[in-house]
Amino acid sequence: MSALLDLVRPDLRDFAGYKSARSEALRGDVWLNANESAWANPADAQGHSRRYPDPQPPALRARLADVYGVGPDQLLIGRGSDEAIDLLVRALCVPGQDAIVVTPPVFGMYVVCARLQGARIIQVPLVDGDAGLAADLDAIGEAALGQGAKLVFLCSPSNPAGSAIPLDGIVALAGALEGRALVVVDEAYGEFADGASATTLLDAHANVVVLRTLSKAHALAAARIGVVIGDTELIAVLQRCQAPYPVPTPCAELALAGLSDPALAQTRERVAVVRRERERLLYALGGLPGVRRVYPSQGNYLLVRFDDPGRAFRALLSAGVVVRDQRAAPQLGDALRITIGSPEQNDRVIAALDAREQAA
């Protein structure tokens, strides 16, 4: 058994999982092995939906692997990044014994999945400095080693902070935790960032895992397509822990079409617009009275501190603009997170906040 599989829960290392009817390599033209309907639903013109989908649609898996520059057997498709997070926690953390490391303020699903699994939660807060809210990798490593963590979740770019983690820092952390913990790099917003993906580290560091999603840059949030990318042995374990038929056929078809060469070209164009608008909004908001600080961001959003965040939130709502209220998050009692919209939408944000000050 490899050192990587030693990190998996002992009771799941040889777990076979559920073998669905569609997972068997059988061929025929009369399918009577899954208790499916022999007739299509009237709402299903093509009649495809009466059949269970392939657990891992081969064409979509191959296309995603090509997009992310990895092998198909290094990648598992699931219901957004959320399912990938849940699978990792369930597969590695023994309830009441093992722990995860998180870096608040950060995406809340890491903690939610840990609590549902009964895993301990170790918090190493982001450090607020001149460059923004940044991960303290030395403190993260010490906490993981000292408190028995199996998983370290690094959100890069971080949501909501917007900061990215340099690859050399991830390499150093992965080396320090080799044989002790997985370093999970959540790149949900990776398309908007400047640096290379942590997938470039996988060949040299088996304990690095990367999460990607089609929900953000690819504009397919409703399709719920996310992937976990990592060592082939780990991917095989996670697939055995996954519920049957995780990828609905309509979602797989939409995702495959959304990853065509023309669609990817449009995605790159949209990302370029977002990056330009991100800089414009950064400077525009930073010049408004009542704005305490705008953090630089590698994502498709900006974290903004206000003298009166409640008033700013209400002013935006009055203008029909809904943003994310971050005031309940650690360290962010005066902050809102504003997604980068179209140029016209961003103009409405600026106008609403400027009008708020003019009316004061």
- Helix ranges, the chain (H): 58-68, 80-92, 109-117, 137-146, 167-176, 232-241, 249-258, 261-286, 309-318, 343-359
State whether 170 and 253 are in the same domain. Answer: yes
d(CA 40, CA 351): 52
Give the structural domain span for 303.
Answer: 272-359
Between the alpha carbon of residue 270 and those of residues 14, 133, 260, 355, the distances in Å are 44, 26, 15, 29
Same-domain pairing of 307 and 238: no
Please check whether residues 148 and 276 belong to one and the same domain: no
Same domain, 144 and 177: yes
Output DSSP code: residue 48. G
What pLDDT was estimated at residue 1? 59
Are 191 and 43 members of one domain? yes
- Does residue 200 sit in the same domain as residue 282? no
Are the C-beta atoms of 121 and 99 separated by less than 8 Å? yes
CA separation for the pair 133, 296 (Å, rounded): 9
Same domain, 242 and 299: no
Averages of pLDDT over each 10 residues, the chain, 360 residues: 87 88 80 90 88 95 98 97 97 97 98 98 97 97 97 98 98 98 98 97 97 98 98 97 94 97 98 98 96 98 98 96 97 98 98 75
Report the pLDDT value the prediction gives residue 258, as an integer from 0 to 100: 98
Q: Is residue 331 part of a domain?
A: yes
For 139-159, what is the HEC assignment?
HHHHHHHHCCEEEEEEECCCC
Start-to-end C-alpha separation, the chain: 67
Q: What per-residue confidence (pLDDT) applies to 357?
A: 59
**Residue carrying structure tokens 């997009």:** 67
How high is the pLDDT of residue 24?
72
Contact at 8 Å (CB) between 56 and 239? yes
Specify the pLDDT at position 359.
59
